[in-house]
């Protein structure tokens, strides 16, 4: 109640907007298909057994699944109700004992999708969920409702029937974040395929950008064409960010016909894109110089690169969170009084959302980084009205053997395979260890991607991945505050 305004908030059973929204489009009804076990790596039966163990441990009687990502993962299905993310919109109720119920519009189900669901669950219409909750929620029945995605109306329905709505984390969220062996193998395969498409694009861009005839939209269309030619692309994983010059300084820029800008000499071009493949989801950003970059551009790019390398090379004890690592990527910008206003990295799903929680490299990332999690490593720098820089690879948290270590250690395997623009690297600002990492990464890119591209692209890749020139002095990088 707001006494100052003389108003009172009153709960109502129906949404008042529904009474006046007369031209509301129907809900999406895209096909729901089975996600093959060769990519899922674990049967729905096995996943449900793990969920029930959690319910038993926390003395819960049921879990109400309201996050469609978790529904898709648990029951090994994928849909297309959400652009760029293969999700079926629906709910599920998983009791501690007994058969789960999945609430999906029957018109969505393909034959294999229906078979996959009916092998482990009842399938019912979304309209029947309220009655099912009424039946389940007897006196004292404890139902976990996801605090992040569960609507208040669901909790009210449970409590009206005499049950207890237990608001808390959906355990599936963390289970889904830790990839199994099949999902990890799929991620590697997807990144190799995607890397070949990206290398073809970068080689084409290097040949064509100097003409002055390319625009941001041209780049988006060409990169997607190369991905389509893999014959494995299901969708882009998000609308491509294609920013030339000052547009690249807008972190979440989306090019339109009105804002479409040509790539001009003396400017930077940033392209952030990804693909949805049945075996994995990709997300990669590269910043390239069109023509000759300024000294300031090279300085800022190198500071961002040093932060990227610091994350890639990080070794940390088991139990470390993303918040504890986030500053590794910022320190070299901080030394020059600079910063970027987004997290260093987000979690990534397995043929699911390109933005997945709870794992993240961020000041707010307090979830422990577990072996098997996939995250982005994407520090950046943005000078408003001038240029933007971001270098993004996806990384996999892995167990790391450290001789003489007294604790279990973790590190990152870099999954993304695409060269980083060496013309923007100021080697005098880098340590020998950082240069060694970059050279080794480029060696790996060249060795793994070359067999997958044409001869002309292969020749370009050979030049793009040459070792960084060692024309540096220790005195220079120490003096400039880069250590």
Judge whether 44 lies within some domain: yes
| 156 and 301 share one domain | no
Give dist(CA 118, CA 120) in Å, integer.
Answer: 5
| 384 and 433 share one domain | yes
Angle, nearest 10°, between helix axes 181-208 and 216-228? 130
| 234 and 164 share one domain | no
| 188 and 325 share one domain | yes
* β-bridge mates for residue 270, sequence order: 243, 287
CB contact at 8 A, 347 and 360? yes
| 115 and 189 share one domain | no
- CATH code at position 130: 3.40.350.10
Mean pLDDT of each 10-residue bin along the chain, 483 residues long? 72 82 90 97 98 96 97 98 97 95 94 95 94 80 95 91 93 98 98 98 96 96 98 98 98 95 97 98 98 97 98 98 98 98 97 97 96 98 98 98 95 98 97 97 98 98 90 39 40
Give dist(CA 349, CA 168) in Å, integer.
Answer: 21
Helix (H, G, I), strand (E, B) or coil at 159: helix
The pLDDT, as a whole number, for residue 13 is 74
Of 145, 175, 205, the residue that ends a domain is 175
| 134 and 222 share one domain | no
- CATH code at position 370: 3.90.230.10
DSSP 60-97: -SEEEE--HHHHHHHTTEE--SBTTB-----EEEEESS
Give dist(CA 380, CA 354) in Å, integer.
Answer: 18
By C-alpha distance, which of 354, 168, 165 is closest to 277?
A: 354
Name the pairing type of β-strands 267-273 and 284-290.
antiparallel
Of 119, 152, 175, the residue that ends a domain is 175
Judge whether 12 lies within some domain: no
| 334 and 473 share one domain | yes
Q: Output phi, psi for 196, to 5 deg.
A: -65, -40
Judge whether 3 lies within some domain: no
E strands, 300-392, where? 315-317, 345-347, 356-361, 374-377, 380-383, 387-390
| 306 and 453 share one domain | yes
Give dist(CA 208, CA 215) in Å, integer.
Answer: 11
| 130 and 242 share one domain | no
Judge whether 436 lies within some domain: yes
Of 175, 192, 209, the residue that ends a domain is 175
Token pair in block for residue 154: 């669901």
Give the helix/strand (H/E) hosting 275: strand 275-277
- Total count of domains within the chain: 2
Judge whether 471 lies within some domain: yes
Q: How many CB atoms lie within 10 A of CB 16?
A: 8
For residue 270, with 0-12 CB atoms within 10 Å meaning exposed, 13-18 middle and 19 or more buried, which class applies? Answer: buried
Helix (H, G, I), strand (E, B) or coil at 384: coil
Token pair in block for residue 228: 């389509």
| 143 and 290 share one domain | no
| 206 and 290 share one domain | yes
- What's the predicted TM-score (pTM) here? 0.93
Judge whether 69 lies within some domain: yes
Q: How many CB atoms lie within 10 A of CB 327?
A: 14
Judge whether 11 lies within some domain: no
Judge whether 15 lies within some domain: no
| 151 and 191 share one domain | no
Helix (H, G, I), strand (E, B) or coil at 446: helix
| Domain of residue 252, residue span | 181-479
Note the helical H segments in 328-454: 331-334, 432-449
């Amino acid at each position: 109640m707001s006494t100052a305004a003389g108003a009172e908030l009153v709960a109502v059973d129906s949404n008042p907007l529904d009474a006046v929204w007369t031209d509301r489009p129907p809900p999406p009804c895209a096909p729901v298909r089975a996600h093959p076990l060769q990519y899922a790596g674990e049967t729905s039966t096995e996943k449900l057994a793990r969920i029930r163990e959690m319910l038993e441990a926390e003395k819960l009687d049921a879990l109400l699944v309201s996050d469609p990502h978790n529904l898709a993962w648990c029951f090994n299905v994928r849909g297309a109700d959400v652009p760029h993310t293969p999700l079926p919109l629906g709910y599920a109720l998983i009791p501690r004992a007994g058969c789960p119920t999945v609430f999906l519009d029957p018109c969505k189900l393909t034959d294999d999708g229906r078979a996959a669901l009916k092998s482990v669950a009842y399938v019912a219409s979304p309209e029947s969920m309220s009655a099912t909750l009424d039946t389940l929620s007897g006196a004292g029945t404890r139902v976990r409702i996801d605090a992040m995605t569960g609507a208040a109306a669901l909790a009210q329905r449970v409590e009206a029937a005499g049950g207890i709505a237990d608001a808390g984390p959906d355990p599936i969220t963390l289970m889904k974040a830790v990839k199994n062996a099949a999902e990890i193998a799929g991620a590697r395969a997807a990144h190799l395929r995607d890397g070949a498409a990206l290398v073809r694009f970068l080689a084409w861009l290097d040949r064509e950008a100097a003409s002055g005839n390319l625009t941001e939209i041209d780049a988006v269309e060409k990169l997607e064409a190369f991905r389509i030619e893999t014959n494995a692309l299901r969708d882009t994983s998000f609308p491509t960010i294609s920013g030339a010059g000052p547009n690249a300084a807008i972190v979440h820029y989306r090019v339109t016909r009105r804002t479409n800008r040509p790539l001009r000499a003396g400017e930077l071009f940033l392209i952030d894109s990804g693909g949805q493949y049945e075996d994995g989801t990709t997300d990669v950003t590269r910043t390239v110089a069109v023509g000759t970059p300024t000294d300031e551009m090279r300085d800022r790019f190198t500071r961002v690169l040093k932060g990227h390398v610091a994350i890639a090379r990080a070794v940390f004890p088991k139990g470390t969170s993303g918040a504890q690592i986030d500053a590794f990527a910022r320190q070299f910008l901080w030394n020059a009084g600079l910063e970027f206003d987004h997290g260093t990295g987000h979690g990534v799903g397995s043929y699911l959302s390109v933005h997945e929680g709870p794992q993240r490299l961020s000041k707010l990332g307090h979830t422990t980084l577990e072996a098997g999690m996939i995250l982005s490593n994407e520090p950046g720098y943005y000078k408003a009205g001038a240029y933007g820089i971001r270098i993004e690879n996806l990384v996999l948290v892995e167990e790391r053997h450290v001789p003489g270590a007294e604790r279990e250690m973790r590190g990152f395997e870099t999954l993304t395979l695409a060269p980083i623009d060496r013309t923007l690297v100021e080697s005098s600002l880098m340590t020998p260890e950082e240069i060694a990492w970059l050279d080794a990464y480029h060696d790996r890119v060249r060795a793994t991607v070359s067999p997958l591209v044409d001869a002309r692209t292969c020749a370009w890749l050979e030049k793009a991945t040459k070792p960084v020139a060692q024309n540096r002095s220790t005195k220079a990088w120490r003096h400039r505050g880069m250590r």
